[in-house]
Amino acid sequence: MNLEQIIKSRVSNTNFNTQDVDSELIINLLDTAVYAPNHKMREPWRFIIFKNTGKDSFADKYLNSLNVEQKEKYEASVLKIFKAPMLLAFVMPTNQNMRDELEDMEAVATVIQNFLLLATEAGLATAWKTPMFSETDQFKEQLNLELGEIVIGLVMVGYSDMARDPKSRKKAVTLTTIYK
């Protein structure tokens, strides 16, 4: 596939089969994904991989740490997201300077998109999620996040036997102003 085909065939797909995802493959993809623009080379990211029993026991422990009200609010979403064969958390340090922080978020988003495209090329199915539970103190505590670190996104990863068609987009010509 050329770049255009990869971009256009990347879709959110959570219809995973049971095939295992190799952590080494994912780390290799991340090593390429980080060739993303980032201001002043702050490289404001790190990654957490969940799979197998580590993933399941993390989800169990997290759910058990919630109070009744939180459990009611978040349980379905936690179970849905942690059902992926692999889950990847993209973690970023917050920045004292709001402008720098916005730039850092933009940079992490480009790493995530790079990762999604590389995963698509590698035949993986992915879905980018920003669930509310990832903002809870218990989730951050259990992830052992450093003070000031936040989860920018969770990416569900696996293999799928069910291809999905991309959703259509508005044409750029209808969205573009040209000064000439």
Ligand X SMILES: Cc1cc2nc3c(=O)[nH]c(=O)nc-3n(C[C@H](O)[C@H](O)[C@H](O)COP(=O)(O)O)c2cc1C
Q: Is 15 in the site for ligand X (CB under 6 A)?
A: no
Angstrom distance (rounded) from CA 142 to CA 34: 25
| Binding-site member from 12, 94, 95, 142 for ligand X (CB under 6 A) | 12
Q: Among residue numbers 104 through 163, which ones bind ligand X (CB under 6 A)?
A: 128-131
Question: 90 near 152, Cβ under 8 Å?
Answer: yes
Residue labelled with tokens 């000064």: 179
Closest to ligand X by CB, 10 or 51? 10
In angstroms, what is the minimal distance from the CB of 25 to ligand X? 21
Closest to ligand X by CB, 40 or 162? 162
Listed residue (53, 48, 67, 30) closest to 140, CA to CA: 48
In angstroms, what is the minimal distance from the CB of 134 to ligand X? 9
| Binding-site member from 7, 11, 49, 63 for ligand X (CB under 6 A) | 11
At residue 151's C-alpha, the angle toward residues 148 and 157, to 5°, is 155
Q: Among residue numbers 54 through 73, which ones bind ligand X (CB under 6 A)?
A: none
Residues paired with 92 in a beta bridge = 150
In angstroms, what is the minimal distance from the CB of 128 to ligand X? 4
In angstroms, what is the minimal distance from the CB of 53 to ligand X? 25
Q: Among residue numbers 154 through 173, which ones bind ligand X (CB under 6 A)?
A: 166-167
- Phi, psi of 142, deg, nearest 5: -70, -25
Which residues have a Cβ under 8 Å from the Cβ of 15 and sit 6 or more positions away? 125, 160, 161, 162, 164
Query: Which chain residues interact with ligand X by CB under 6 A?
Result: 11-12, 128-131, 166-167
